Amino acid sequence: MNVATKLSGAKERPHVSRRRILQGLAAAGVGSVVFRRALAAMADEGRQVTPEMIKDAEWIAGMEYTDEDRKLMLEGVNEVLTGYKKIRDVPLDNGVPPALHFSSEPLAPPHPHVRRKPIAMSPSTASKKPQSEEDLAFAPITELAALIKARQVSSVDLTKMYLARLKMYDPLLHCVITLTEEAALKQAEGADREIAAGQYRGPLHGIPWGVKDLFAYPGYRTTWGATPFQDQVRDEKATVISRLEDAGAVLIAKLSVGALAWGDVWFDATTKNPWNVDQGSSGSSAGPAAATAAGLTGFTIGTETLGSIVSPCTRCGATGLRPTFGRVSRFGCMALTWSMDKVGPIARSVEDCALVFATIHGRDGLDAAAVDRPFVWPPRQDVRSLRVGFIESLFDERRLQDIEDAETRDRVAQMLSFDRRVLDVLRRIGVNLVPIELPDKYPIGPLLLILTAEAATAFDELTRSGRDDELVRQVVNAWPNEFRQGQLIPAVEYLRANRIRTLVMGEMNRLMENVDVYVSPTFGGSNLALTNLTGHPCVVLPHGFRAEGGTPTSITFTGRLHGDDTLLAVAHAFQGATDFHLQRPPLEKPDVSTGQ
């Protein structure tokens, strides 16, 4: 058998055409120049991929799609092809490496139970347990911690209250996958005994919390929100859970996640927005954001790859921290995109996020990307001494002149008024504002093929087994279709995109030399995709309520790499001058008799 026949697999497929053999050689690295030139020519000539082309290419990846699969893939594959051209147009010197990290140093011996250094929090005015259960349920960690430490309220009482609220409102919100009630009550009893004995561990001791059901907890299901994994039980314990247990926090629920970390649709339901239960809560940290906003738990843990903390916090009016990439270990958490996945807290205030982050950050020897960097709370710097940038073009009222549709213009105008009000608040508290613009030298959207390629790799077995058909959402913008598209991304294009990512990271670092933090409309321009690719931290928090429907809106603060404490300080100062985060959704107690 000659080399061409062997590599193409023609022996197993006697009717394979010459074209398919050439494609097989391309996949094996033989004749790849011809193959890539053909792809480049298609993009340059504006030609479109057809279902027949996808069918011809399938066997290279060892896949076989249905006609419906191919129809779903068409738009995305052609967008990626257009993106290839934009990426190829960027000149790359040989000295530019891909934005990939590899370490030949073996992982350090496991030490997931590292105790965090004590941290301080703002003085609390809470001296007595509120008479209203609602007031207690919506209290921030700073107040709950003061009440528990003073033994005005017990951890067991708080745990039972939040468990009851989860049971009451879950039929309405669909935010719970599994209650960890038995373990939670034992943890709460232990916390009360320790506190009574004077063994107070810190601000999270005895505080009930919930986790996005991507994190493994022995003895309980870890479903990833997806039908193929809904009965999965994993033996490892996620580092985040271990560290919060060490701090004395009480895990009460594993909360809903859009299937495999996309959206708010999971195998059993769609998680709802507490402010408007006719809406989904967005995702994929759907359950954590909804439960936090509805006062069903003290705080929660979410994850983000491309907006999965930012988006549901915006929809539900919660406050979320997406830390610098690598600040929090992902051990025991479902992998989606190894170079973009991040873990962060969702809470009712910026300071609550800081208290949780202070507990969970740092290297654990189990996630190669996790690093140790200093974190100080409260920060020693006065925010008035900081340079806070604002993306000038996104706050400019002249944007409205280009919008022809009156209804769209009114909607954008309202959001713009909220955004500009943020700048007024920052000026009022003495913040030094500096106009900036995001770097736009390189194409950002096409670089998201990095996410698609890594996610398709993470769930390659699911796609090849055909069990991706079991996922609830089978539409263009859903994982089954995205995973199939990912199978068609050449390794050369993936690495080229990562090399451009290196250049983008350099541009962002140069921008951040001029400011300590910057503020932007949450979904303005390329900011969300850009900073998720570069790994910069952000805080998202409510900054208004729509005139129609009364649902929350948000603003985003972005910080320097590993400047999470400074970032939180600026967001905390803004939140201290406003009261949007103190508002509560108008939830009505479901009618138990009807289940509504």
Distance CA 195, CA 412 (A): 51
Could you tell me the pTM of the whole model?
0.90
User: DSSP letter at 184?
Assistant: H
Contact 367, 112 (CB under 8 A): no
Of all residues in the chain, the percent with pLDDT exceeding 90 is 79
Q: In sequence order, what DSSP letters do the residues of 504-544 get, joined into one string?
A: HHHHHHHHHTS-SEEEEETT-TTHHHHHHHHT--EEEEEEE
Residue range 420-448, pLDDT digits in tens: 999 999 999 999 999 999 999 999 999 99
| Residue 308 among the catalytic residues | yes
Q: Which CATH class is domain 133-372?
A: alpha beta
**Active site residue: 154, 282, 308, 339, which one?**
308
Beta-strand ranges (E) seen in 363-473 are 387-391, 432-436
**Active site residue: 8, 124, 155, 212, which one?**
212
Pairing of strands 272-273, 176-179: unpaired
pLDDT average, residue stretch 126-155: 94
Say how many C-beta atoms besides its own lie within 10 A of residue 221's C-beta: 17
Quick one: 219 exposed, middle or buried, by C-beta within 10 A (0-12, 13-18, 19+)? exposed
Q: In sequence order, what DSSP letters do the residues of 205-262 get, joined into one string?
A: TT-EEEEETTB--TTSB--TT-GGGTT-B-SS--HHHHHHHHTT-EEEEEEP--TTTS
Residue range 523-570, pLDDT digits in tens: 999 999 999 999 999 999 999 999 999 999 999 999 999 999 999 999
Residue 323: C-alpha distances to residues 22, 340, 535 (Å): 46, 11, 8
Shortest CA distance to 341 belongs to which of 110, 533, 538, 540? 533
Question: In the numeric block, which tokens belong to residue 71?
Answer: 């129809």
Say yes or no to pLDDT of 39 above 80: no
- In 3-state terms the chain splits into helix, strand, coil percentages (rounded to 5) of 45, 15, 45
For the chain, which residues make up each domain, given as ranges? 133-372
Label residue 219 left, alpha or beta by phi (over 0 means left) and psi (-120 to 50 means alpha): left
- Of the ranges 104-108, 113-117, 553-557, which one carries the lowest mean pLDDT score? 113-117
Residue range 363-401, pLDDT digits in tens: 998 998 999 999 999 888 899 999 999 999 999 999 898
Q: What is the pLDDT of residue 57?
A: 87
**Active site residue: 124, 284, 329, 554, which one?**
284
Q: What is the pLDDT of residue 125?
A: 66
User: DSSP letter at 345?
Assistant: E
| Residue 284 among the catalytic residues | yes
Please provide the average confidence, as pLDDT, over all residues in the chain. 90
